[in-house]
Amino acid sequence: AGAASSPIPLGSAAEIDTFRSDMRYREALKRYCDVIVPMNDLKWEALRHDRPRFDFSGSDELVAFAEANRKTLRGHTLLWGEALPAWAKEMTTRAEAERELVNHIEIVVDRYRGRIATWDVVNEVIKYDPQPGEPYRDTIWQRLLGPEHVEIAFRTAARADPKARLVLNDFHFEEREPGAAARRKVALDICRRLKDKGIPVHGIGMQAHLYAEKRIDTEGLQRFMRDLDSLGLDVEITELDVIDWKMPADAGQRDAAAASLVASFLGAICAAKRPKAIVTWGLSDRYSWIHETFPRKDGARARPLPLDADYRPKPMMAVLEGYRSGAY
Ligand code: 9MR
């Protein structure tokens, strides 16, 4: 039986402490993933806790695992306003910020040149609710470097690994709210401006932390996909999971709702443009940032991911496997 569509590589973020302690976690990464993303170990906080010395212990371990198991890698992330060591938040001058940013990107991208295929060059640089003329989030990078922080990051990454795919990663592109439309426009504007200046950018990463109680903006997403196409940009889904804090307690009902939300989200996107990869922010409900960030009022555990807490596939996994095999 031939595939109906081109298969889409599936992947997950991998958290280092869990990776080290839970064999079932490692087995799940091997079985379900084509792509691995170090969840936290390429962030400044992990690499740069000691200012003069880079600590690659966690990222090296995850990169080695991915290579040994023939998985491709996404690098997350070279520039973010969060997960910074104290010293980076205390930088005071433009020259210092530029020197540190350029040096960091050169060293990190060069270390994994030809091995980390895709980089989230910048993460969450778009303002939560952008107004005309004010596209960028208030971060140490924006404060010290202004809008140029994005250009510096892309230009430096491209120089350090000319073959790497360079992505702008951000969230809240899919909602039926004016803020989401404004965010899509800003993402397109940023990429267009980079391209106009001859600075390479290859795609947009849509985090896709989907709220189960919200509807997807199918039309807005499809327009976004066409706009990306006309700029020659790819799309990838980079941090998919489902925030089910406002759903009824029944686990079966929540799992069905999560699967159907993911199916309608991916269906809307794929009808206009097939993503280069679909990456979830973890694999098993046993471990997720959503437990702490979006706790349920009834105390029940969140069920955000494609495997349950005992690593059994949920309906969401069937949807993802459908894209992975090319059936959808
Ligand atoms: O899941 C990540 C969590 O373990 C970290 O403590 C946190 C701060 O580094 O980042 C979480 O991942 C975030 C990602 O890097 C960017 N998009 C939002 C994710 C969830 O907060």
Ligand 1 atom closest to the Cα of residue 40 is 9
What angle in degrees, to the nearest 10, is found between the helix axes of 94-111 and 148-160? 30
Distance 5 CA to ligand 1 centre (A): 32
Ligand 1 atom closest to the Cα of residue 293 is 21
Residue with tokens 């899509």: 184
What angle in degrees, to the nearest 10, is found between the helix axes of 148-160 and 178-196? 50
Bridge partners (DSSP) listed for residue 240: 280
Which residue's CA is the closest to the ligand 1 atom numbered 9? 83
Strands annotated E in the chain? 10-14, 35-38, 72-79, 118-123, 126-131, 134-136, 165-170, 203-206, 209-211, 234-243, 278-280
Bridge partners (DSSP) listed for residue 36: 12, 73
DSSP string, 288-316: -THHHHS--TT-PPP--SSB-TTSPBPHH
With a 6 Å cutoff on the Cβ, whether 84 touches ligand 1 is no
Number of C-alpha atoms within 13 angstroms, CB side, residue 245? 13
Q: What is the pLDDT of residue 189?
A: 98
- If you average pLDDT over every residue of the chain, what do you get? 97
Is the confidence at residue 22, as pLDDT, over 60? yes
Which residue's CA is the closest to the ligand 1 atom numbered 1? 289
With a 6 Å cutoff on the Cβ, whether 42 touches ligand 1 is no
Mean pLDDT of 235-262: 98
Residue with tokens 């069937």: 318
With a 6 Å cutoff on the Cβ, whether 238 touches ligand 1 is no
Q: Is residue 3 part of a domain?
A: no
Which residue's CA is the closest to the ligand 1 atom numbered 16? 123
**Ligand 1: which of 12, 25, 40 to mutate, most ligand atoms within 8 Å of CB?**
40
Question: What is the rounded CA–CA span in Å between residue 264 and residue 258?
Answer: 10
CB 79 within 8 A of CB 153: yes
Mean pLDDT of 145-154: 98
SS3 string, 44-84, reads HHHHCCECCECCCHHHHHHHHHHHHCCCEEEEEEEECCCCC
Question: What is the rounded CA–CA span in Å between residue 255 and residue 307?
Answer: 10
Which residue's CA is the closest to the ligand 1 atom numbered 21? 289
The pLDDT tens digits of the residues spanning 56-110 come to 999 999 999 999 999 999 999 999 999 999 999 999 999 999 999 999 999 999 9
CB 76 within 8 A of CB 31: no
Q: In this structure, what token pair is assigned to residue 232?
A: 């020659």
CB 166 within 8 A of CB 123: no
Q: Is residue 4 part of a domain?
A: no
**Ligand 1: which of 48, 79, 281, 288 to mutate, most ligand atoms within 8 Å of CB?**
281
Q: What is the pLDDT of residue 249?
A: 97
Is the confidence at residue 229, as pLDDT, over 60? yes
Angstrom CA distances, 145 to 150, 162, 257, stand at: 9, 24, 43
- Domain CATH number, residue 222: 3.20.20.80
CB 131 within 8 A of CB 179: no
Q: Is residue 274 part of a domain?
A: yes
3-state helix, strand, coil in the chain (%, to 5): 45, 20, 35
With a 6 Å cutoff on the Cβ, whether 287 touches ligand 1 is no
Is the confidence at residue 324, as pLDDT, over 80? yes
Residue with tokens 């997350």: 76
Q: Is residue 2 part of a domain?
A: no
Ligand 1 atom closest to the Cα of residue 289 is 1
Q: What is the pLDDT of residue 4?
A: 82
Q: Is residue 1 part of a domain?
A: no
Is the confidence at residue 172, as pLDDT, over 80? yes
CB 109 within 8 A of CB 157: yes
CA dihedral for 112, 126, 177, 212, sign (positive or negative): positive
Distance 156 CA to ligand 1 centre (A): 24
Mean pLDDT of 116-130: 98
Q: Is residue 212 part of a domain?
A: yes
Question: What is the rounded CA–CA span in Å between residue 32 and residue 14?
Answer: 12
The pLDDT tens digits of the residues spanning 250-270 come to 999 999 999 999 999 999 999
Owning domain of residue 228: 10-324
The catalytic residues are: 124, 239
Q: Is residue 185 part of a domain?
A: yes
By C-alpha distance, which of 91, 206, 223, 112 is closest to 157? Answer: 112
Total count of domains within the chain: 1
The pLDDT tens digits of the residues spanning 11-21 come to 999 999 999 99
Q: Is residue 268 part of a domain?
A: yes
Question: What is the rounded CA–CA span in Å between residue 25 and residue 12?
Answer: 11
Mean pLDDT of 224-247: 98
Q: What is the pLDDT of residue 2?
A: 56
With a 6 Å cutoff on the Cβ, whether 289 touches ligand 1 is yes
By C-alpha distance, which of 288, 314, 223 is closest to 25? Answer: 288
Is the confidence at residue 1, as pLDDT, over 60? no
